[in-house]
């Protein structure tokens, strides 16, 4: 297959999505490891925690 695609957005080649993810992941991780990120996630979890637990099938961290 010349240009493998993905199920999420079939028009974007998988290699392009992976390259984008490699660029974004460090910044996302840094944010969620920061005090601000932890605080905002805790606030979000308090508001949406039950919905999120149902969405991910009850998988805990």
Task: Evaluate whether 14 touches 20 at the Cβ level (below 8 Å).
Answer: no
* Averages of pLDDT over each 10 residues, the chain, 61 residues: 62 92 96 96 86 62 50
13 in Cβ contact with 5 (< 8 Å): yes
What 3-state class would DSSP assign to 15?
helix
8 assigned to some structural domain:
no
pLDDT for res 49 = 73
Instruction: Give residue 11's pLDDT.
Output: 87
- How many whole angstroms separate alpha carbon 1 and alpha carbon 10? 14
Q: How many domains does the chain have?
A: 1
1 found inside a domain: no
Domain containing 18: what range?
14-55
């Amino acid at each position: 297959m010349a240009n493998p695609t993905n199920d999420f957005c079939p028009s974007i080649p998988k290699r392009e999505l992976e390259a984008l993810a490699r660029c974004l992941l460090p910044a996302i991780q840094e944010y969620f490891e920061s005090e601000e990120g932890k605080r905002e996630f805790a606030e979000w979890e308090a508001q949406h925690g039950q919905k999120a637990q149902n969405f991910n099938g009850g998988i805990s961290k």
